[in-house]
Structure 1
């Protein structure tokens, strides 16, 4: 994308030409102003993604991490299968938790149906610190079909890649690894948290991987400031 040859966002918004039944001129003007900002946001997302892809290689993986899967022990390299890139999500479901993190579970539930598509391009794994039998039991309870679950039996991978807090508690983490010349390197982690949050903002990354928030961000109410997903709801309501 050559920024020098782009039509201005405001001009693209003007060309859009959409309208909806019974809208007021004030609504259309405000919506076109917003559309111009949304076009600029899309362009910024593209610039950030290009900058991310151009990152130099991160640190090489020098430890022989072992993870327990449904069919036995796996190395980190095994998880790549035939792909050059591996995405690992660390799920907040350690052995000290009676139930898994509802927020993680909400996001993973949305991703479950996407896994067959994701794995056309990259390898994907979900790692947690609970025993594999416990993870598989919850997978069945939740009705997940595709999420590949693994147990970090030693906590070493989780600790090294920031999925364990300073107090030993679970933390969510998202890490991308790549293989170059036969060697595994770390590539990217969101690195956003409380230290990078703006005042009054719930810490979150950009991009935000939660489809839930993406939908709610399009509504008049937006994201509820104190509400989080639950593992279960009263379905009779």
Structure 2
């Protein structure tokens, strides 16, 4: 039986943990193995940092109480923010860039949502989850059919101030992507966390993105020799 982690038990050296791997690949050189073990130690440290950040996020003090019980439009008609929690006390909201002025939705958002579509049944075991966009609901539903989405709960924010309040989206301006999490406690709904990593917080020469990256696409490409690159983006369709 594996020893259980304890907050009082100091972490072992990442290098020592890396040295325990017994994995070897056909034809690898000693130089490759040395470099791979050094990289493995860094990957272990990255995993630890992700855990520390997640714990720090969970320790945030109570966020602001939502100013109103926003009304959205979905497959069953009008639905209020308070109703979106269902049996859960947390609610994750992804803001999809697909407003009424956009001819087509954002390819990057769409790529991410296509990946999440298959995860929704699993997500709903732990939290409530919805996708919102400014276009009228019928437009969102039509694109979902085109894309083959089966599970994403889509809602329209058309006519309310939710996007303006929680992702600083100008009602007359361009669409904005975002992620927000809300918490319900004793009947009170508060904002828990929202992404704030954008163009203003991006490192020079890098695309603005959150950490960890939400998109499986980029996470996988980061493991390839060519990486994610700087001159390619996903498309809504391929020939």
Question: Following the alignment from structure 1 to structure 2, what is the Cα–Cα distance between the partners of residues 111 and 74?
Answer: 22
Pick from 29, 37, 41 the counterpart of residue 42 of structure 2: 37
Deviations 1:153-177 (A, max 9, x none): 2140011011625861100010000
* Aligned-pair CA distance for 1:83: 0.7
| Secondary structure, counterpart of 1:223 in structure 2 | coil
Provide closer, same or farther for how the CA distance between residues 135 and 41 of structure 1 changes in structure 2, counting only shifts above 3 A: same
Partner of 1:162: 167
Pick from 77, 84, 95 the counterpart of residue 100 of structure 2: 95
Pick from 149, 166, 172 the counterpart of residue 177 of structure 2: 172
Please list, as runs of the form range in 1=range in 2, the aligned pairs for 1:193-204 lying within 5 A after superposition: 193-204=198-209
| Secondary structure, counterpart of 1:98 in structure 2 | coil
Question: Following the alignment from structure 1 to structure 2, what is the Cα–Cα distance between the partners of residues 187 and 43?
Answer: 23
Point out 4+ residue stretches in structure 1 off by more than 6 angstroms.
none
**TM-score, normalised relative to structure 1:** 0.96
Partner of 2:3: none
Question: Following the alignment from structure 1 to structure 2, what is the Cα–Cα distance between the partners of residues 167 and 204?
Answer: 24
User: RMSD of aligned C-alpha atoms?
Assistant: 1.3
Provide closer, same or farther for how the CA distance between residues 198 and 65 of structure 1 changes in structure 2, counting only shifts above 3 A: same
Question: Following the alignment from structure 2 to structure 1, what is the Cα–Cα distance between the partners of residues 55 and 86?
Answer: 26
Question: Following the alignment from structure 2 to structure 1, what is the Cα–Cα distance between the partners of residues 238 and 81?
Answer: 36
| Secondary structure, counterpart of 1:44 in structure 2 | helix
Pick from 148, 153, 160 the counterpart of residue 148 of structure 1: 153
Pick from 7, 10, 15 the counterpart of residue 5 of structure 1: 10
Partner of 2:86: 81
Deviations 1:14-61 (A, max 9, x none): 111211101000000000000000000000100111111111111000
Please list, as runs of the form range in 1=range in 2, the aligned pairs for 1:1-237 lying within 5 A after superposition: 2=7, 5-162=10-167, 164-165=169-170, 168-234=173-239
* Aligned-pair CA distance for 1:207: 1.5
Aligned length: 234
Range with greater deviation from structure 2 (61-70 or 114-123): 61-70
* Aligned-pair CA distance for 1:2: 3.5
Answer whether contact 1:93 1:128 (CA < 8 A) is retained: yes
Q: Where does the alignment leave 5 or more consecutive residues of structure 1 unmatched?
A: none
Answer whether contact 1:124 1:148 (CA < 8 A) is retained: yes
Question: Following the alignment from structure 1 to structure 2, what is the Cα–Cα distance between the partners of residues 228 and 166?
Answer: 26
Question: Following the alignment from structure 1 to structure 2, what is the Cα–Cα distance between the partners of residues 203 and 90?
Answer: 16
